[in-house]
Chains A and B, each alone.
Chain A
Amino acid sequence: MDWECCWSRDQIEPENCPYIGEGEEDLLVSQRRRIVEKCVECPRFKNDLARMKGSGYPLSDVLPYILTEFQEQKSQMGAMLSFLNSKTREIKFLREVGLVLQTSLDLDEVLSIAMTAITAGKGFGMNRAFLLMTDKDRRHIRGYLGVGPRDYEEAWRTWEDIGRSNFTLRQLARDFQKTKLNSEKVKFHDILNQLTVPLADQGHIFNRALLGKKPILVENALNNPDLDRGLARILGVDTFLVMPLISRNRRIGVIIADNCITHKPITLQDMQSLETFAFPVAFALERASLYERLQEEVAKQKAANVKLREQQELIVKMEKMALVGKITSSIAHSIRNPLMVIGGFARTLLKATPDQDEKRSYLESIVRETRQLEDVLSEVLDYSESLFPVTDFWDLNELVGKAMGELEGALEQAGVRCRMELAPELPMVRIDYKQISYCLKTITATALAAIEQGGELRIESVLDGDGVLLRVSDDGRPFTQTAQEALTAPFFQTQELGEGVGLSLCKSILERQGNSLSILSRPGGGNTYSIRLLTRKENI
Chain B
Amino acid sequence: MAKLLVVDDEANIRLLYAQELSDEGYQVVTAGSALEAVEKLESESFDLAVIDIKLKNESGLELLQRIVKERHTIPVILCTAFSCYKDDFSAWLADGYVVKSSDLQELKDEISRVLAKRQRGAYV
Contacts and interface: CB of A to CB of B under 8 A. Distances in A.
Contacts of A346: 102
Interface stretch (B8-16, B42-50, B59-67): B8-16
- SS class, residues of chain A in contact with chain B: helix
Given A337-B10, A337-B13, A344 B83 contact: no
Given A340-B16, A348-B19, A371 B102 contact: yes
Contacts of B1: none
Nearest to B79: A340
A345 B10 CA distance: 14
A344 B16 contact: yes
Interface string A324-362: 000000000100111111111111100100000000000
A340 B20 CA distance: 13
Contacts, number: 58
Nearest to A345: B16
B100 A336 contact: yes
Contact of A333 (B12, B13, B16, B82): B82
B124 interface: no
A19 to B, nearest CB: 117
B104 A347 contact: yes
Nearest to A351: B23
Interface residues of A, number: 24
Interface residues of B, number: 18
A251 B84 CA distance: 66
A439 to B, nearest CB: 17
A336 B10 CA distance: 12
A374 interface: yes
B112 interface: no
Interface in B8-57: 10, 12-13, 16, 19-20, 23
B62 to A, nearest CB: 19
Contacts of B101: 340, 343, 374
Interface in A390-416: 390
A337 B81 contact: yes
Nearest to B52: A337
Interface of A: 333, 336-348, 351, 367, 370-371, 374, 378, 381-382, 385, 390
